[in-house]
Amino acid sequence: MSTTQTDPGASGALVEIRNVHFSRGERTILNDLSMTIARGKVTAIMGGSGCGKTTLLNLIGGRLRPSSGQVLVDGISVPELGTRDLFELRKRMGMLFQNGALLTDLDVFENVAFPIREHKRLPEPILRHVVLMKLETVGLRGARELMPAELSGGMARRVALARTISLEPMLVMYDEPFTGLDPISKGVIAKLIRELNTGLGITSVLVSHDVADTCAISDYAYLMGQGHIIGQGTPQEIRQSEAEEVRQFMDGLPDGPVPYRYPAPDYLKDLLQEGPA
Amino acid sequence: MNSLRRLGQYVLDSVEGLGRASLFFLEVASGARKLIRRFDLVVQQVFAVGVLTLLIILVSGLFVGMVLGLQGYNTLSKFGAADSLGLLVALSLVRELGPVVTALLFAGRAGSALTAEIGLMKATEQLAGMEMMAVNPVERVIAPRLVAGIISMPLLAALFSAIGVLGGQLVGVGLLGVDSGAFWSQMQSGVSFHEDVLNGVIKSVVFGVVVTWIAVFQGYESVPTSEGVSRATNRTVVYSSLAVLALDFVMTALMFK
Ligand SMILES: Nc1ncnc2c1ncn2[C@@H]1O[C@H](COP(=O)(O)OP(=O)(O)OP(=O)(O)O)[C@@H](O)[C@H]1O
Ligand SMILES: [Mg+2]
C-alpha cells in the first residue's frame, strides 16, 4: 500500500478520528468530532436518531470524505486513498448494514461465499468448508439453502454477519444491529458480537441507540449529540455521569437539553389567532 | 419570463444529465474490460435477458411477418408483382422492423426490468454493501448487464426477422398462393448481405448500446425509494423508445441512399 504506516501498536488505536467536520450542503452533520477506537475492543457509539452515527461509519469506511479533519484506520489516512487502495483496505474491514443488505438473488450460502469468490481463488471444497464454518458461527448452517426473502430479520442479520466476517476482517462496524429484533434475537446478536470480538480478535464498532444492550457488551462508549461527542468512558462511567445531556439520553427523559418541542411561536398566541394559520 | 427561465433550467438539467450519463458510460466501459476474466457474469445476464424477451420477440415477429405478407400481397398484386413478396417482407424486416421493433420490445420488457432491479438493489443497500466488501458494483453489476444487452439485441433482432420471414411465407405462400420458389429466390437475389443485413445488424447493436445504457443509468441514478424506482422504470421505457425511433431515422438516412 502506498500510504504511510505510522506505528499503530504504540497508541493501541485501530481507528482515529481527529477534528472531523462533515456537512451536506449548508447543514453541518459532524462538528469537530474526535474519537479513538481501541484495537481489539468493542467500542459503542450511541446517540439519538439523525445525530450522524451512520455518517461517521461511512467516513471510516471511506464512502464519504470529511470536509476537514483526519480519519485514520490502522494508521492509513482513509480520505486520501485512491479507489484501489481503498478497496484493499476495505477487504480488511466489514460493515453490517442496518437491514443486512444481503444480495437478494443469491441464497444464504452464496451470499456468505460472495466476498470470498470475489477476492480469493479457493478450490470449491475449501470454500465450502470456510462458508459452512462461518454459517456455523452464527448458528445458521442449516439455513444455507434459503433465499434472503425467506429469512426473518434476525436471521438475515446473522447471515450478513457471517458474510461480513468471511474475509476475516480486523474491524467490523455494526450499524444498529439490534433495531427491530425481539429480545431473544437481540441477545443472540449481542453474544455473537462479543464472541467474535474475543474469539477472532476483531475490533468492533457498535452503533446503536439501544442503551441497555449496548452497554452490556461494550468496553468503551461514546455518546453523540448533534454532530459532536457529549460524553465518553466505560459504560459504568457513562451511567454515573452527571452531565445533563448524558443523563437525558441514558434515562430516556423526553425533555432536557435536547428539547421535546420543535421550535414554534407562542402557544397562546397561536391558539388565539383567527382562521387557518 | 418565468416560463423562459424554466425552459432554460430544463435545458441546463438535460445537458447536465447527458454529461453524467456519458461519464457513467465511460466508467462502465472501463469496468467492462475486466469482464474478460469473468465472462460467466455476462453469460448469466444474456440468459436472463433471453428468458425475459425470447417469447415476446418470437410471437411479435411472427405476427409482424404475417401482417407484412398480407399488406404486401394486396399492394404488390395490383401491379402483378406478387412474386416479389418475399423480397419485400425480408427487406422490411431486415432493414427496419427487425431492429426497431425488437429494440422497442426489449426496452419495455428487459430494459424496464433492468432499471427496476438495479434501483431496488440500490434502495436495499445491496450496492453500498458491495462497495464495503471491496467489490465495485459498476464492474460487478452494471458492466455485465450492459455487455449482455449489447450482445443480445442483434441476436434477438435476427430471430425476429427470421420468424417474421416465416410468418410472411405462411400467409403469402400458404394462404394467398404466391409461388414458393419465386418467394424464396427473389428474396435470395434481392437482399444484399452488405447493404441490408450488415446495416440491420449495425442498427441493432447501436440500439442495444443505447437502450441498455439508458436502463442501467436510470436504475443506478434512481432515487432509492419505491416511488423513485417506479419513476426511473417509466423513464427508461419512454427515453429508450424515443431514442430508438430517432436514431433509426438518422441511421436509415445515412445507410440507405
Ligand atoms: N443522503 C443524504 N442526503 C442528505 N442528508 C442526509 C443523507 N443521509 C443522511 N443525511 C442527514 O444527515 C444526518 C445524519 O444522518 P445519519 O444517517 O448519520 O444519522 P444516524 O445517527 O445514523 O441516525 P439513525 O439513528 O436514525 O440511523 C441526518 O440529519 C440526515 O438528515
Ligand atoms: Mg443510522
- Which of B121, B131, B140 lies nearest to residue A63, judging by beta carbons? B131
- What residue's CA is closest to ligand 1, atom 4? A24
User: What's residue A248's pLDDT?
Assistant: 81
Counting one residue from chain A and one from chain B, the pairs whose CB atoms sit within 8 A come to 51
B37 CB within 8 Å of a chain A CB: no
Q: How far is the CA of B231 from the centre of ligand 1 (A)?
A: 24
Q: Which residues surround ligand 2, an ion (CB under 5 A)?
A: A 54
| Chain-chain contact of A63 with B134 (C-beta, under 8 angstroms) | no
Chain A contacts of B141, Cβ < 8 Å? none
Q: What is the C-alpha to C-alpha distance for residues B257 and B246, in angstroms, rounded to an integer?
A: 18
pTM recorded for the entire structure = 0.86
Chain A contacts of B120, Cβ < 8 Å? 104
Determine contact, residues B136/B26, Cβ cutoff 8 Å: no
- Find the closest chain A residue to B125 by CA distance: A101
The closest alpha carbon to A144, from A126, A164, A158, belongs to A158
Instruction: Show the cell assigned to A37.
Output: 477506537
Q: What is the C-alpha to C-alpha distance for residues A42 and A121, in angstroms, rounded to an integer?
A: 32
| Chain-chain contact of A114 with B133 (C-beta, under 8 angstroms) | yes
Which residues pair with residue A203 across a beta bridge?
A: A171
- What residue's CA is closest to ligand 1, atom 20? A50
CATH for the A8-92+169-272 domain, from 3.10.129.10, 3.30.950.10, 3.30.70.60, 3.40.50.300: 3.40.50.300
Q: How far is the CA of A24 from the centre of ligand 1 (A)?
A: 10
The closest alpha carbon to B240, from B108, B83, B80, B56, belongs to B108
Sites in chain B below the pLDDT cut of 50: none
Task: Give the distance from residue B153's alpha carbon to the nearest chain A alpha carbon, in angstroms.
Answer: 24
HEC profile of A135-157: HHHCCCHHHCCCCHHHCCHHHHH
Which residue is associated with the grid cell 465450502? A128
Domain residue spans in chain B? Answer: 2-255
B28-36's contacts with Cβ under 8 Å and 24+ in sequence apart are B28/B138, B28/B142, B28/B143, B28/B146, B28/B213, B28/B216, B29/B143, B31/B136, B31/B138, B31/B139, B31/B142, B31/B143, B32/B139, B32/B143, B32/B146, B32/B147, B34/B139, B34/B143, B35/B139, B35/B143, B35/B144, B35/B147
User: What's residue A276's pLDDT?
Assistant: 58
User: What's residue A67's pLDDT?
Assistant: 92
Within 8 A by CB and 6+ apart from B118, the residues are B127, B141, B142, B145, B216, B219, B220, B222
- Find the closest chain B residue to A165 by CA distance: B133
| Chain-chain contact of B133 with A118 (C-beta, under 8 angstroms) | yes
Task: Give the distance from residue A226's alpha carbon to the nearest chain B alpha carbon, in angstroms.
Answer: 25
| Cα diameter, chain B | 70
Buried b (16+ CB within 10 A) or exposed e, B21-39: beebeebbeebbeebeeee
Domain residue spans in chain A? Answer: 8-92+169-272
In the structure, which protein residues have their CB atom closer than 6 angstroms to any atom of ligand 1? A 24, 29, 47, 49-55, 209
User: What's residue A8's pLDDT?
Assistant: 43
Q: What is the C-alpha to C-alpha distance for residues B35 and B24, in angstroms, rounded to an integer?
A: 17
SS3 A109: helix
CB atoms within 10 A of CB A126: 11
- Edge-to-edge, what's the strand order for the sheet holding A171-175? A93-96, A171-175, A203-208, A42-47, A220-224, A229-233
Atom of ligand 1 nearest to the CA of A57: 18
Determine contact, residues A113/A166, Cβ cutoff 8 Å: yes
- What residue's CA is closest to ligand 1, atom 30? A50
Q: What is the C-alpha to C-alpha distance for residues B25 and B213, in angstroms, rounded to an integer?
A: 7
Sites in chain A below the pLDDT cut of 70: 1-11, 259, 274-277
- What residue's CA is closest to ligand 1, atom 9? A55
- Which of A95, A114, A119 lies nearest to residue B132, judging by beta carbons? A95
User: What's residue B155's pLDDT?
Assistant: 95
Chain B stretch 58-77, residues whose beta carbon is closer than 8 A to a beta carbon of chain A? none
| Chain-chain contact of B134 with A61 (C-beta, under 8 angstroms) | no
Determine contact, residues B156/B97, Cβ cutoff 8 Å: no
B139 Cα distance to chain centroid: 22
Chain B stretch 92-151, residues whose beta carbon is closer than 8 A to a beta carbon of chain A? 120-121, 124-126, 128-136, 140
User: What's residue A9's pLDDT?
Assistant: 46
Q: What is the C-alpha to C-alpha distance for residues B143 and A137, in angstroms, rounded to an integer?
A: 34
Task: Give the distance from residue A83's alpha carbon to the nearest chain B alpha carbon, in angstroms.
Answer: 9
User: What's residue A5's pLDDT?
Assistant: 45
Q: What is the C-alpha to C-alpha distance for residues A172 and B132, in angstroms, rounded to an integer?
A: 11
Chain A stretch 100-119, residues whose beta carbon is closer than 8 A to a beta carbon of chain B? 101-104, 114-115, 118-119
